Structure 1
């Protein structure tokens, strides 16, 4: 019995020692963090260049900026860039204190911005940003300027461009051309290609199985596999879209050659067959989908420089018809980058597409809806 008591006492002592060591380690981490609350202006310049390149390429803001294995939210980095602009223009080379507990931007809004922004302008905007964030602990929705109200996202793009083009924050000027409807200002979405859902339009035809876009066991099985672990229609749609654009290689030819099933099996298809694949998988996942036909001027990919008839799809999510064009790797669900979205000619919106013998996409026969 005494031996058992001694063992229990020994175990308790060991647990107490482990607890003390753990507390000591936790304190060290806290203390180390307390000394890591500054960032150099040089690091902000580097981060700004990385941020600008990302936005310029993807036409959207990233979730964060990473510098030396440390992640900064967009709000934090907007503050750091603004401080760097102000300090560098008055030759203050000191490190910048990192802001914490920055809230998300509340309701960003603004105008289309097109014109030159001088270093004096950038400095003025940066001061306004710092003043607002110091008082509200969140980024401003917009900044007033002579070019109009510069929306939060466009402002981040402008400051990152300014700093990335300058090694000392004293660049003379930059040119900014960002539409209010630009993907940059709309979470990376090409909202100009979205359509509002009309309630009187029946969704039954947008969920039906067709010859070229069937909902048979083969399609259902693949759709289920691709959407495993997805909880919302948006997550399912993104999973399907990303698989299609990565696995169905684009080939140029007219009309429909393969349909959804064969295109999936041979991993290739033109814009019509690519759309068939998307339609069949979306509809098999109970996501209403329709075809869109337009004459588009291509600026990237295999069709670069061509103006031709083109087919893509729209999926209904949260009462909006969202664009989905899986023919180019740089496209995303809700975003198109391989053809000019502001100058295309809409030819029609359809629930299904049939094939005739003509080897010309313009002669495809459509089952057209009314809206």
Structure 2
């Protein structure tokens, strides 16, 4: 009888300590709830596995365009850098009018790529479209094309996924 009582206490303790365990394994993502910043590195990893130019990706039941991914990655990097939690909205983002960029390879320091991410998502918030280019060191310089910027952010976030911290620098491509 005593062993059944102890077993009952253990089971109740496990149930109490694990309340919500299943919800952590099946994070819900939808257009109305957005994507949790904790899922952004997983999305970047999925994008990194794709070869060539892709237009969209299916992620946890939501179809995302690369324009939306660029916004999510930019905002995600800033939120991770600031230690913020929460969801990033899944917005409708139009393509760049005239994409361009002059830099094909670069080593970009953490403070620079975080600044680029900050400028990118804020510009996209204001204009609802991808910028034609983004400057590495300052705004207004057409250093990285939208595709190169996406690749840069994917590299940053996949390294974060594997190490648990944003890299001190990233080399692109």
* TM class, shorter-length: 0.7 to 0.9
Distance in 1 of aligned mates of 2:165 and 2:76: 8
Match of 1:277 in 2: none
TM-score (norm 1): 0.35
Match of 2:128 in 1: 137
Confirm or deny: 8 A CA contact 1:140 1:152 kept in the other structure. Answer: yes
> Structure 1 regions of 5+ residues with no counterpart?
1-32, 178-371
Distance in 2 of aligned mates of 1:142 and 1:169: 27
Confirm or deny: 8 A CA contact 1:47 1:66 kept in the other structure. Answer: no
Higher relative contact order (CA 8 A, sep 6+): 2
Deviations 1:24-56 (A, max 9, x none): xxxxxxxxx9883321122211110121232xx
| CA drift at 1:169 | 5.1
Call closer, same or farther: CA 1:66–1:134 in 2, change over 3 Å: same
Tell me the C-alpha RMSD between the 2 structures.
Answer: 2.2
| CA drift at 1:93 | 1.7
| Of 143, 149, 153, the match for 2:143 | 149
| CA drift at 1:61 | 2.4
Report which of the two has the higher share of strand. Answer: 1
Q: How does 1:1-371 map to 2 (within 5 A)?
A: 36-54=32-50, 58=51, 60-99=52-91, 101-146=92-137, 149-167=143-161, 168=164, 170-177=166-173
Question: For this pair of structures, how many residues does the alignment match?
Answer: 140
Deviations 1:184-222 (A, max 9, x none): xxxxxxxxxxxxxxxxxxxxxxxxxxxxxxxxxxxxxxx
Q: Which has the larger radius of gyration?
A: 1
Distance in 1 of aligned mates of 2:151 and 2:77: 14
TM-score (norm 2): 0.73
Report which of the two has the higher share of helix. Answer: 2
| CA drift at 1:94 | 1.4
Deviations 1:149-189 (A, max 9, x none): 10111000100111011134522111114xxxxxxxxxxxx
